[in-house]
Amino acid sequence: MKYDPKVDRIGLIHGILNALDYPQARPMNLHICGTNGKGSTGTIIAAILQENGQKVGRFVSPAMYDDLEQVTINGASMTEESFLKCYAQFKRGLFKQGLTQEDLSIFETFFIISVIYFASQDVDVAIYECGLGGEFDATNALGVSAYTIFTKIDMDHMQILGNTLAEIAETKSKIIDPNSTVINYAGQQADVTKILLHTASERNAAFVTESPYNITVQAESLTYSDIQISIAEQLSPVISFHMAGAFQIDNLQTALTWVGAFNQAHPTETISLSTITNALSTVTLAGRMEVVQKKPLVIIDGAHNVDGIQALVKSLGKTQRYTIIVGFLKDKDYSDAIEALKTLNADFIIASPDNPDRALPEQELASSFKAHGITDVRTSTNLVTTFKELTNCQHPIIVTGSFYLINQVQAALKESE
């Protein structure tokens, strides 16, 4: 047999998990879904839980540098030895269902492997991020999530999720499990919230939008924000929060909304403000406003869709001069992304992501930039050469767009030295 997308994928994956004695039922599961902010929100929650003494598993996709980075416990990637042990169990599950590896995609495989791994390692909490997200996402086979956390929902993957924001929200809402608790992004559009609330109500799930925590931003820079968090009569010290960008404050608020809901449901296991403070003082996220070189300053940000680019542009501001290296996959709505980027005070270098099947060629993207009135644009066919040419650049270099572009930057910088 071959992988067939017309097959009931959720039913197929659920059958494999059932054949393995339902390993997803052992930890408390958090299921994160949205267009942007999943990785940031999951990272923050995992850091807080780990600081609180919990053993935390996370499944994310895509990986930045190594496929095993998709499956972590307390931030440590799965080892090859552990992968092979779990893969042997996975194969037994396939056999029991009369299936072979060819019947599953790589994403589905890694998801099932993560479920097996987290159960075998007795994690307290397992955090799963949707891939494309929604009703037909492999992670929806969990079926037993205690919490469903929605980050900002916007337009992306329209060919799969729906042609309108309402259709996309409807598809994503279908991951809500019966009798669970839904955490909604504070700035969610009203029409999206209405759809999520309706599905939650149908499935007898609690719906939480209000947070007992307030965040005050004291100062902002390209690489961090100084913040304080308050709850009731308590006020944290000033925290240097190294997940930079205005959009990360929104993701932090979503994470704190979850903490508030968790504390209310678990009065004997509450997470303290000092625990939150300690976690936020050290938390970082690879590939999101991440400083990878200081001189010249090079920052990578995986803003791979329109909403992500708009958030990046807002964070960068329009007064500072930048050099922007950018590349997209051809299935993205890059036209609107260009409209957002053109508002920056920047010159642009167009590159092609390292994904032969899906990458938008640099010349084609450069032509689109010029069609949008951006004349200060050139192309790069080799990042090593480009970084050598930028050795004496006097302003920040931002590399953004596809993860298949930004994950090449560190190696290219090293080679360019």
Average pLDDT over the chain reads 92
> For residue 1, is pLDDT > 80?
no
Residue 165 near residue 131, CB atoms below 8 Å: no
pLDDT score, position 33? 95
Mean of pLDDT values over 72-82: 97
Q: Higher confidence at residue 119 or residue 133? A: 119
Give the model's pLDDT for residue 401: 93
With cut-offs at 50, 70 and 90, classify the pLDDT of residue 159. Answer: very low
The pLDDT of residue 163 is 66
Q: What are phi and psi of 291, to 5 degrees?
A: -80, 120
The residue ranges of every structural domain in the chain are 9-282, 290-416
- Nearest C-alpha neighbor of 43 from the set 231, 287, 408: 287
- Both tokens of residue 146? 């205690």
Q: Quick one: pLDDT at residue 417?
A: 87
The residues facing 51 across adjacent strands are none
Closest CA to 128 of 117, 120, 140: 140
Q: Quote the pTM value.
A: 0.90
Which pLDDT does position 320 carry in this prediction?
92
Residue 62 preceded by cis peptide, ω within 30? yes
Interatomic CA distance for residues 32 and 182, integer angstroms: 10
Task: State pLDDT tens for residues 267-276.
Answer: 999 999 999 9
3 — pLDDT class (breaks 50, 70, 90): low
Class assignment of domain 9-282? alpha beta
Q: Which residues are within 8 A (CB) of 342 and not within 5 positions of it... i.e. 6 or more apart?
A: 369, 372, 373, 374
Q: What is the pLDDT of residue 158?
A: 46
The per-residue pLDDT for 131 is 87
**What architecture (CATH level 2) is domain 290-416?**
Alpha-Beta Complex (3.90)
Q: Report d(CA 388, CA 378) in Å as an integer.
A: 15
Q: What is the DSSP letter of 70?
A: G
Q: How many residues are listed for the chain in this entry?
A: 417
End-to-end CA distance of the chain: 49
Identity of residue 140: N
Tokens of 353: 């992501």
Q: Could you tell me the two tokens for 313?
A: 């542009």
